[in-house]
Amino acid sequence: IAYEAGQGDGAEARWEPPRWREQLQRIRQMRSGRDAPVDEMGVHRCYDTSAPPEVMRYQVLLALMLSSQTKDQVTSAAMLRLRRRGLTVDSVLQMDEESLGQIIYPVGFWRNKVKYIKQTTAILKQKYGGDIPSTVEELVQLPGVGPKMAHLAMHIAWDSVAGIAVDTHVHRISNRLQWVKKETKSPEQTRVALEGWLPRDLWKEINWLLVGFGQQTCLPVNPRCSQCLNQDICPAAKRL
C-alpha cells in the first residue's frame, strides 16, 4: 500500500473528502481552549521533562502502554505514582509484579499491562541499552505496544512523524465526517485511509485535535451535535 511516499505527486487525481478543510478549521476553533482531558493529562504531560532523554522516552512509552482503554485522568495518576518511585528501566526491572500492579491499579487491564511492562522493559534493557526503539516497526514488536502507541511514541519521544496515531476517537470521528472513502472497521484501517489523502504536515496535529474533540463534543454516545460548529456540514449530524 503506497501511502508513505509521493503524497499526491502522481498523475492520478487523489481522493479527498469534500469540505474537509472547512471542517478541520472549525474543529480547531472548538479546540482552541485546549481544556480537554488529553490536553491537561495526556501522555505528553506524563513524563519527567527534566529526566535524561532515554529516561524521558521510556516514561513516554510506559504512559502509552498504561493509557490503552484507560481514561487520561487514571493514566496520569498512575504515572505520577510510578514517578514518585523513580521511574527508570532499572527501577521497573527491580520491582516485583505485585508491587507494580498495586502502583498502576486501576488502569484498564492492569494485570496484563504488568506483564507487558516487565517483558518490554527487559527487552529495552537487553536490546536497546535502556532506550526505546526509534522506528514504528521495532516499537510494535514490543509486548503490549500497538500501532497507535508506536506512532505516538515517535511523535512525542522522538519528535518524528512516521504516520498518524489513530485511536477510537480518531477512528469514530473520521467515519462520522466521512474522512474515509468507505467506512472503516478498525483504527488501523482508518490510519491507512487517512494517510492516503491527508497532507503530511497535518499528521501529527490530527490525533491531538480529534481526541480532545471526541472527549468534549463528538462523544461516542449522545454526541453534542447542537454544540458543534460543524453541525451543518457533518454527514453524521442528522443521523445521530
Tens-digit pLDDT profile for residues 113-147? 999 999 999 999 999 999 999 999 999 999 999 99
**Cβ atoms within 10 Å of 1's Cβ, excluding its own:** 6
CATH class of 47-158: mainly alpha
**pLDDT value of residue 3:** 36
> What would the mean pLDDT of 46-64 be, rounded to a whole number?
98
**pLDDT value of residue 4:** 44
Per-residue pLDDT band for 2 (boundaries 50, 70, 90) equals very low
4 or 171, higher pLDDT: 171
Architecture of the 20-33+164-239 domain? Orthogonal Bundle (1.10)
> What would the mean pLDDT of 158-177 be, rounded to a whole number?
97
Per-residue pLDDT for 27 more than 50? yes
Cα 203 to Cα 58, 90, 125, 163, 165, distances in angstroms: 23, 34, 31, 7, 8
Question: CATH 1.10.340.30: which residues of the chain?
Answer: 47-158
Provide, rounded to the nearest whole percent, the portion of the chain with pLDDT above 70.
Answer: 94
- Annotation marks residue 148 as catalytic: yes
Per-residue pLDDT for 20 more than 50? yes
**pLDDT value of residue 29:** 98
Across all residues in the chain, what is the average pLDDT? 94
Provide, rounded to the nearest whole percent, the portion of the chain with pLDDT above 90.
Answer: 93
The beta-carbon contacts of 197-206 under 8 Å, at least 24 apart in sequence, are 197/14, 197/15, 197/16, 197/17, 198/164, 199/7, 200/7, 200/161, 202/24, 203/161, 203/163, 203/164, 204/155, 204/161, 206/164, 206/170
Per-residue pLDDT band for 1 (boundaries 50, 70, 90) equals very low
CB 139 within 8 A of CB 154: yes
**pLDDT value of residue 35:** 97
Per-residue pLDDT band for 12 (boundaries 50, 70, 90) equals low
- In three-state secondary structure terms, 57 is helix
Residue 237, classified by CB atoms within 10 Å of its CB into exposed (0-12), middle (13-18) or buried (19+), is: middle
> What would the mean pLDDT of 94-113 be, rounded to a whole number?
97
On whether the pTM is more than 0.85, the answer is: yes
Instruction: Name the amino acid, one letter, at 214.
Output: G
Choose, from 71, 115, 127, 148, the residue flagged as catalytic.
148
Per-residue pLDDT for 240 more than 90? no
Tens-digit pLDDT profile for residues 217-236? 999 999 999 999 999 999 99
